Structure 1
Amino acid sequence: MSESTIITKQRGVWLLIGLIVTSIISFNVYLAFNTIKNLSAIQVSLANTGNIILRLDDLHISVISAESGQRGYLLTNDAAFLKPYQSALDKVQAQIAALKALDSEIPAQQQRIARIIDLSTARIAELEQHVTLVKNDKSALSLLALKATSHASVYEQLRQLFNDVNIEEKVYRAALLQRLSKSKNEALVTFTISGITSAMLVIILLLISWSSNRKEQQYLQLLEQKNINLEHTVAERTQELNLYAEELSRSNRELEDFAFVASHDLQEPLRKIQAFGDRLESSYADALTERGLDYLHRMRNAASRMSTLITDLLEFSRVGTRGRDFATTDLNQVLEQVLDDLEIAIKESAAQIDIVGSLPTIQADNSQLQQLFLNLLSNAIKFRQAKQAVHIVIKSQAYAASAAQLALCDNWYQLTISDNGIGFAPEYAEKIFTPFQRLHGRTEYKGTGIGLAVCRRIVERHRGEISASSKLGQGATFSIILPEQATAFAIIGDEDAPQQS
Structure 2
Amino acid sequence: MLKSTFVSKQRSAWILISLIITSIISFNVYLAFNTIQNLSSIQVSLANTGNIILRLDDLHLSLISAESNQRGFLLTNDDVFLVPYHKALDKVDIQILELEALESEIATQNQRITNIIELSKAKTVELKEHVRLIKNDKSAVSLLALKASSNSNVYSQLSQLLTEANIEEKMYRAGLLQSLAKSRNEASITFTISGITSAMLVIILLIISWRNNRNEQQYLLLLEQKNQQLTNKVEERTQELNLYAEELSRSNRELEDFAFVASHDLQEPLRKIQAFGDRLESSYADALEARGLDYLKRMRNAASRMSTLITDLLEFSRVGTRGRDFAETDLNTVLNYVLDDLEIAIKESAAKIDISPLPTIQADSSQLQQLFLNLLSNAIKFRRSDKTAHIVIKAQAYNASEAQLALCDNWYQITVSDNGIGFSQEYAEKIFTPFQRLHGRTEYKGTGIGLAVCRRIAERHRGEIAAVSELGQGASFSIILPAEATPFGKFGDENAP
* Structure 1 residue 368, shift from structure 2 partner: 1.0
Corresponding residue for residue 146 of structure 2: 146
- What is residue 477 of structure 1 aligned with on the other side? 476
Deviation at 1:6, TM superposition (A): 4.3
Distance (Å, rounded) in 2 between the aligned partners of 1:270 and 1:308: 10
Separation in 2 of the partners of 1:91 and 1:495? Answer: 120
Matched, 1:9 2:9: yes
How do residues 396-411 of structure 1 correspond to structure 2 at under 5 angstroms? 396-411=395-410
Give the unaligned 5+ runs of structure 2: none
Distance across 1 between alignment mates of 2:10 and 2:407: 39
For the pair 1:489 / 2:484, whether they are aligned, the reply is no
CA distance in 2, matches of 1:325, 1:211: 58
User: 1:43: how far off?
Assistant: 0.7
Post-superposition Cα deviations, 1:59-81, rounded to whole Å, max 9, x if no partner, equal 11111122122222222333322
- In structure 2, the CA distance between the partners of 1:489 and 1:151, relative to structure 1 (3 Å rule), is farther
Stretch deviating more after TM superposition (478-487 or 64-73) = 64-73
| C-alpha contact 1:461 1:488 (8 A) present in aligned 2 | yes
Counterpart of 1:189, as a letter, is: I
Superposed, which structure 2 residues align to 1:257-406 within 5 Å? 257-356=257-356, 358-406=357-405
Q: Give the SS at the match of 1:488.
A: coil
Give, in angstroms, the shift of residue 135 of structure 1. Answer: 2.9
> In the alignment, does 2:77 pair up with 1:98?
no
Secondary structure in 2 matching 1:170: helix
Alpha-carbon distance in 2 for matches of 1:493, 1:419: 38
Q: Do the aligned residues in 2 keep the contact of 1:421 with 1:476 (CA within 8 Å)?
A: yes
The superposition leaves residues 105-143 of structure 1 with CA deviations (integer Å, 9 ceiling, x where unpaired) of 111111111110111011111222222223333754344
Aligned to 1:251: 251
1:379-458 superposed matches below 5 A: 379-458=378-457
| Contact 1:362–1:483 (CA under 8 A) maintained in structure 2 | yes
Q: Who is 2:209 aligned against?
A: 209
Structure 2 match to 1:198: 198
**Could you tell me whether the CA contact under 8 Å between 1:270 and 1:303 is conserved in 2?**
yes
1:38 aligns with 38
Letter matched to residue 141 of structure 1: V
> What pairs with 1:58-69 in structure 2 (closer than 5 Å)?
58-69=58-69
Specify the alignment match of 1:223 in structure 2: 223
Query: What's the counterpart of residue 108 of structure 1?
Result: 108
Q: Distance in 2 between matches of 1:3 and 1:343?
A: 65
Q: 1:80-112 deviations in whole A, cap 9, x for unaligned? A: 222222212222222111111111111111111
Q: What is the CA deviation profile of residues 404-447 of structure 1, one whole-angstrom value per residue up to 9, with x for unaligned ones?
A: 22222222211111111111111111121111111111111111
* Cα distance in structure 2, aligned partners of 1:50 and 1:229: 83
CA distance in 2, matches of 1:184, 1:78: 57
Distance across 2 between alignment mates of 1:476 and 1:439: 14
Residues in 1 aligned to 2:139 and 2:273: alpha-carbon distance in whole angstroms: 175
Provide the C-alpha distance between the structure 1 equivalents of 2:225 and 2:387, rounded to a whole number of angstroms: 74
Aligned partners of 2:322 and 2:494 also within 8 Å: no
The one-letter code matched in structure 2 to 1:254 is: E
Contact 1:49-1:169 within 8 A present in 2 as well: yes
For 1:57 and 1:3, the matched residues in 2 are separated by 80
Distance 1:4 1:328, change over 3 A: closer
Distance 2:255 2:409 in 1: 37
Match of 1:440, SS state, is coil
- The 1:486–1:2 alpha-carbon spacing in structure 2 relative to 1, beyond 3 Å, is closer
For residue 400 of structure 1, what is the amino acid of its counterpart?
N
Give the whole-Å Cα distance in 1 for the aligned partners of 2:466 and 2:36. Answer: 79
Q: Matched residues, percent identical?
A: 79
| Aligned-partner Cα distance in 2 for 1:378–1:137 | 148
Q: Is the 8 A contact 1:246 1:493 kept in 2?
A: no
1:54 to 2:51 alignment: no
CA contact under 8 A between 2:42 and 2:176: conserved in structure 1? yes
Give me the TM-score of the superposition, normalised by structure 1. 0.96
**Cα distance change of structure 1 residues 484 and 59 upon mapping to structure 2, 3 Å threshold:** same
CA distance in 2, matches of 1:182, 1:24: 24
Mind listing any 5+ residue stretches in structure 1 that lack a counterpart?
none
Q: TM-score, normalised by structure 2?
A: 0.96
Distance 2:94 2:372 in 1: 111
CA distance in 2, matches of 1:495, 1:142: 147
Aligned mates of 2:435, 2:340 — CA distance in 1: 28
For residues 369-423 of structure 1, what are the alpha-carbon distances to aligned partners after superposition, in whole Å with 9 as ceiling and x for unaligned?
Answer: 1111111111111111111001111111112222222222222211111111111
CA RMSD of aligned residues (A): 1.6
Find the aligned partners of 1:129 and 1:406 in 2 and give their Cα distance: 108
Q: Deviations over 1:150-194 (max 9, x none)?
A: 255111111111111111111111111111111111111111111
Paired with 2:464 and 2:129, the residues of 1 have a C-alpha distance of 119
What letter matches 1:382 in structure 2? K
List, as ranges, runs of 4+ consecutive aligned residues in structure 1 with deviation greater than 6 Å: none
Give the conservation status (yes or no) of the 8 Å contact 2:39–2:180: yes
Q: Secondary structure at 1:324's aligned position in 2?
A: coil
2: CA distance, partners of 1:430 / 1:83: 127
Alignment check: 8 A CA contact 2:411 2:483 kept: yes
Q: AA paired with 2:362?
A: Q
* 8 A Cα contact 2:425 2:468, kept in partner: yes
Shift of 1:496: 4.6
Does the 8 Å CA contact 1:252/1:493 hold for their aligned counterparts?
Answer: yes
Give the number of aligned pairs. Answer: 496
The equivalent residue for 1:188 is: 188
Does the Cα contact within 8 Å between 1:426 and 1:470 map onto a contact in 2? yes
Distance 1:48 1:210 in 2: 55
Partner of 2:29: 29
Equivalent position SS for 2:153: helix
* Cα 1:453/1:11, change in 2 over 3 Å: same
Q: Tell me the amino acid that sits aligned with residue 184 of structure 1.
A: R
SS state at 1:436 partner? coil
Aligned partners of 2:421 and 2:474 also within 8 Å: yes
